[in-house]
Amino acid sequence: MRARLGVASGAFGVGAPSLMWALDKVGIQLPERAAMSVLLISAAAVLGSIGIGAQAGFVWLHGRLESRMWPVLTGVLGWGIVLVGFAWYVAEDRRLKIEPPLPPRAQLSLLLLYQSDRLNLYNKGRDDLYLWGDKLEGYPASFEKDARTIPADGFYYFLTEDLKRTMLGSVGPDGERLLSFETYLSDEGDHRYVAKFALLIKMKAGQMEIHTQQLGSVIEDWKALGSKSPTAQEAAQRVMLLERLRREYILSHDGISPALAAGTELPPQDWINGRLHELGQNWRIKIMDDKLNYETFPASIP
Whether 105 is covered by a domain: the verdict is no
Domain ends where: 183, 203, 224?
A: 224
Domain identity same for 170 and 254: no
Domain identity same for 219 and 275: no
Task: Report the half-sphere exposure of 16 (CA within 13 A, side-chain side).
Answer: 24
The neighbour count for residue 11, using CB atoms within 10 Å, is: 12
Domain identity same for 117 and 153: yes
Q: How many domains does the chain have?
A: 3
Whether 196 is covered by a domain: the verdict is yes
Tell me the residue range of the domain where 90 lies.
Answer: 2-98
Domain identity same for 11 and 72: yes
Do the Cβ atoms of 245 and 272 come closer than 8 Å? yes
Strand partners for 179 = 199
> What pTM was computed for the model?
0.51
Domain identity same for 40 and 115: no
Q: Of the candidates 50, 51, 40, 116, which has an alpha carbon nearest to the alpha carbon of residue 85? A: 40
Q: Which of 7-11, 83-87, 147-151, 257-261 has the highest mean pLDDT?
A: 147-151
pLDDT digits (tens, 9 = 90+) for 12-37: 454 455 555 554 554 544 444 544 55
Q: What is the mean pLDDT of residues 42-49?
A: 58
Q: Of the candidates 69, 42, 70, which has an alpha carbon nearest to the alpha carbon of residue 58? A: 69
Domain identity same for 122 and 220: yes
Residue 151: pLDDT above 90? yes
Do the Cβ atoms of 265 and 257 come closer than 8 Å? yes
Strand partners for 176 = 202
CB-based burial label for 190 (10 Å; 0-12, 13-18, 19+): exposed
pLDDT of residue 144: 85
Per-residue pLDDT band for 110 (boundaries 50, 70, 90) equals: very high
Domain identity same for 186 and 254: no
Q: Of the candidates 182, 181, 127, 133, which has an alpha carbon nearest to the alpha carbon of residue 150? A: 127
Distance of CA 131 to the CA centre of its chain: 7
Residue 7: pLDDT above 60? no
Per-residue pLDDT band for 292 (boundaries 50, 70, 90) equals: confident
The neighbour count for residue 168, using CB atoms within 10 Å, is: 17
Domain identity same for 125 and 168: yes
Residue 43: pLDDT above 80? no
CATH number at residue 117: 2.60.40
CB-based burial label for 44 (10 Å; 0-12, 13-18, 19+): buried
Do the Cβ atoms of 269 and 287 come closer than 8 Å? yes
Phi-psi region of 255 (alpha: psi -120 to 50; beta: other; left: phi over 0): left
Q: What is the mean pLDDT of residues 269-286?
A: 91
Residue 180: pLDDT above 50? yes
> Which residues make Cβ contacts (< 8 Å) with residue 266, sequence separation at least 6?
242, 246, 260, 272, 287, 291, 292, 294
Domain identity same for 114 and 218: yes
Domain identity same for 83 and 169: no
Whether 103 is covered by a domain: the verdict is no
Domain identity same for 219 and 136: yes
Domain ends where: 204, 224, 244?
A: 224
Per the document, the length of the chain is 302
Whether 168 is covered by a domain: the verdict is yes
Domain ends where: 78, 98, 118?
A: 98
pLDDT of residue 196: 92
Do the Cβ atoms of 108 and 188 come closer than 8 Å? no
pLDDT of residue 1: 46
What's the mean per-residue pLDDT of the chain?
Answer: 76
